Amino acid sequence: MTQRVELATVMDRLAVDGLITDYAVAVDDGDWAAYRDLFAPDGRADYRSAGGIEGDAVQVAGWLARSMELFPMRQHLIVNRRVRFGSLEQDTGDTAHVRADYINPMRFAGHDGGSTAPDFICGGRYAFALVRTYDGWRLREVVVQEKWRRAPEGLTTDQRPSPV
């Protein structure tokens, strides 16, 4: 591998990592326009394993906006990112797949607006499929694989929210 190819791979890896971080920040900040902009035109997301929906970026952003009203404070931590580059139409490096674990602590909206509201936490794995576009790397698919959740004592399964 030449130095030029190695440098291009490092640059792509940094750009992909930045896109995954931008995803977490958009959800945590409730910036649904930024969330939608992270996706390719045909991009989709699947939150069904966490009790959510599957759909295009516009549909899912709307669902997230409503769902996240329950949690005014949230913090996605996306770790153990494994990036694999693929090819599209014989051009090496035009696609990427990322598997990453997440832990997502959030705080329920409380009557006092803050610190006494109970916490909710969940964790699992994301599967991201990315494609290189003229505008840079974009998400083609996001699949959430929730593995566990911890809700406040006293909530029944039916009362537990569907966050991600």
The residues, ordered by sequence, that sit 6+ positions from 24 with a Cβ below 8 Å of its Cβ are 76, 77, 78
Ordered by where they begin, the domains of the chain are 3-159 (3.10.450.50)
Question: Whole-angstrom Cα distance, residue 119 to residue 142?
Answer: 25
> Which residues in 48-90 belong to E strands, given as ranges?
54-56, 73-74, 77-88
Local confidence pLDDT in tens for the 164 residues of the chain: 577 667 888 999 999 999 999 999 999 999 999 999 999 999 999 999 999 999 999 999 999 999 999 999 999 999 999 999 986 655 556 999 999 999 999 998 875 555 667 889 999 999 999 999 999 999 999 999 999 999 877 654 444 455 55
| Cβ–Cβ < 8 Å for 164, 104 | yes
Position 23, amino acid: Y
